[in-house]
A and B are shown apart, each in its own frame.
Chain A
Amino acid sequence: MSQTVWTFLIVGISFILYIVVAWWSRAKSTSEFYVAGSGVHPVLNGMATAADWMSAASFLSMAGLIAFLGYQGAEYLMGWTGGYVLLALLLAPYLRKFGKFTVPDFIGERYYSQGARLVAVIAALFVSFTYVVGQMKGVGVAFSRFLEIDFKYGVIIGVLIVFFYAVLGGMKGITYTQVAQFCVLIFAYLVPAIFISVLMVNNPIPQLGLGGKLHDGTYLLDKLDQVCRDLGFQEYTISKKNTIDFAFITAALMLGTAGLPHVIVRFFTVPNVKDARKSAGWALLFIALLYTTAPAIAVFSRTNLIDTVQDKPYSELPAWFKNWEGTGLLKFEDKNGDGKVQYYNDANPTFVQDVANERGWKGSELTVDRDIMVLANPEIANLPAWVVALVVAGGLAAALSTAAGLLLVISTSISHDLFKNWLRPKISEKGELKTARITIAIAVVIAGWAGINPPGYVAQVVAFAFGLAAASFFPAIIMGIFSKRINKQGAIAGMITGLVFTTAYIVYFKFLGGTPDAYWWGISPEGIGTLGMLFNFIVSIGVTYLTPPPPLEVQQMVEHIRLPDD
């Protein structure tokens, strides 16, 4: 069977699976629609959280990103896993005990204020919307590259699938589809990694293979360090980055993870506090399966790529190279006209002067898109066509599952936080359920439209969703649980300070022409959410002690959520 037939077949089967699961688990009440009736088994919730969390970017781009960043790639690896420790220890159990539907629910009640609720709703909508547009774009890209369907129709197919199970099943449908999607995506990620690990270092476990020996007896990582040095790149396993910036970016990603509404809401779906803690552990275990494999894929594929192309005649390159050239992800330009590929760091002036000029190299001749590291892996390792098809299905599963989780947060924020708790408190349960279905339908359509015509700022903004979540939600929730004294004036002032400061710093340096030499202590905009969070804490505490303590019933509520299940 040809590649395209395999791809259609496997993607088709996976889609049918999702639809069947969604039909079987459709929602009948608002509680089922918002939090799956709080009846999800902790292991299944762990899988659903993992699929919710791992987006198209984690699946397709992260390994490639690490391959080019080397050591520094750790900021994503630690940043996107370390937040689960904070979730399991500081947030999930207490929010589950609180037992409502959304993050703005908690903020609104803990700070006894519709104003606080509104700030939380706006932050949740902004964070989720920028994030979901990126997912829709990912769906379109996956379809257009592999099934040779126009990008636009790719997005529309994705929208229809999500529309079907999100509108029908709400959180319940989304949860069980995400479980299926997790299985597809993790299988698709691990199979090629295992094959390649066996081929290169003769070890079936990629996490160990990363530290393994090549067939010539040298350690893989030492070999890659050597190759990088020889080509003028920075050594792979050494960090050269400003330590403060490195730590701040890592912290912003961790705190942001713990503050993202679509992740937090998953812990409302388990039966009790004990299960919320357990479920966070399972979620991290499932996420770690992918996140500890990614650095191995990064090293395998970067070594493989350089080995295959460096100083080789273009005419003798393997077939996959030419296939991928067709997609524009790989570009070869014979700058010195010798018919061979020279790939090196042409931005390193000493290397260019000492080595490249002498050898007659006239600039690096290869341009590599980072997504190719995952996408082309199966072909580089000569794996059968069905594995390639599996990777496509995995990428789609990653994008669709994250999109659905985000869309649910958007619809809940509107139907529950805005309508039910603010504009129309008297709405019946049936009416609320209908509003929820209508808003999610509208949200899916808008997200699809925005995915086809992405506003120019989206790519830059997605990374900042984390900074904003870290600077707004995280401190407000933590203090709401761990302090009985913190009051609404403090929390609102803190959230606004965090949001305004972080947004201003990002906008100044990303859009208004601020230059890196003006960064405060060398902190780049990606890491500024950490400082915003510190400001939030300071302002909240300061304002709180200048204003009266919260009412007695709020203090009692805090005491109540700290205790285990009855």
Chain B
Amino acid sequence: MYSEVFSTTIFGLDALVVSVEIDSGDGLPFFEMSGYLAAQVREAKERVRVSIKNSGYELRPQRILVNISPADVKKAGTGFDLPIAVGILAANGYINNDKLKDIVIVGELSLDGSVNAVSGVLSSVIAAKEKGYSICIVPVDNLHEAKLIRGISTYGVKNLKELLSFLNNGIFPDRINNVVGEHHSIFAAFDDTYLDFKDIQGQMVAKRATLVAAAGMHNLLYVGAPGSGKTMFAKRISGILPELTYEEALQITKIYSIAGCLSKNSFIKKRPFRSPHHSITKTAFLGGGAFPKPGEITLASSGVLFLDELTEFPACILESLRQPLEDKAIRLVRLSREYVYPSDFMLVAAINPCRCGYYPDRKRCNCSERDIARFLGRISQPIWDRFDMNVHFETIDFKDLSEEEMISKKNIYTTKHMRGIVERVHAIQQRRFKECSIYFNSQMEVSDIKKYCILGTKEKQLLEKAYNKLNLTARGYNKILKVARTIADIADSSEIQTSHISEAISYRNHLGVM
């Protein structure tokens, strides 16, 4: 007997619907699988056989041939267990073949017949919907994820027996989640609280700089002594970026689902904050493997990538950041195919000003000029150039820590207030770059700068004077203009004024011993 079941395989960030064909016939007992399968898929053979047996179905000795087509796409993952089992049972007459025509099934089997969660369910459901299937069966642990997609019925199954009773009789255990729910109500239920900037006292300059950076999506470098709050700041940045739309959140969840970073029944509604340790490998950072999995830069997409102790990162990892930062996507080329993953994040990094971390406080720091130059020299010039803005953290006095008035006074630097400003400035930029391929001030090229950063005579004079007196470079000059544009946007000013330029100049790179 022959049967056909539909399933999916993950292909980059998307899934592809594949058909699992099973033929069983008489002859010496035999089980063979074909269709360009990875090792995990081949291992399904024994799992499927035992779980069918343990679910209480009897199979007579027979020749079973499984083929997953199209045969020129490499299939990986454990989601094929369930469709294969269903196919074998259908070929043995336990299920009516006609019932399987409109269903896509994914799921991994345990030896006792229960169904385990798999990764990439979101992409699978999207693919099933796009191909016009009306039902998608997923492991019960992935049901929340699957429910995010509208326009297709999704069911979560616990074990093989449950699935068979559904396929044969249309009966499904009354499980709340199996009812097609209001998607937005599910969306709203997820946690979207961020850490708040109002928890931080003092550091007004750093707060202002952070606001400017987030408003124009400028890459930001924090410099400061250990314990001055750099990491605290970085963790709060994703909170002041605009709220995610449903589509954006779905895209992020999809990436996390494929990377296997999604915990049970969760949904990414917050902007990601990724802070990889500096011992990370290049593959984990950029994404990779024979079937490339998304790396940290892709997981940070739409959010913040924070590199703490930037000087400790190996040079090769930092250098590899240059192209993804420029293109906002990473291309992972494999022999079979090219995979393009998004890498559209805001880069925030933190460094100490010297090895001990306390320069220029000579009471605590005894680093020589050479030590400092060597310490900062670990980061190459091209990487320095990626940071539009630098901000120096002050060591906090006890007075600051104990000062209560900071909070009671009308503190404008709360996450809510800052997010309001950032959202407004993002909207201004969207209008400005409507006809361009860029979205933010930080992405402006020289030609865009000429077009959008028009200066009056007074402003030109100031910049000229600063250029000569402060030894700026041509690149530094352009960075100042880009940041000044953002500052002007925050002030709701269509022209860039001298005060905006002055502020932008104060964020330039000015490190080391002068």
The answer on A and B forming one complex is: no
Interface, chain B (partner A; CB < 8 A): none
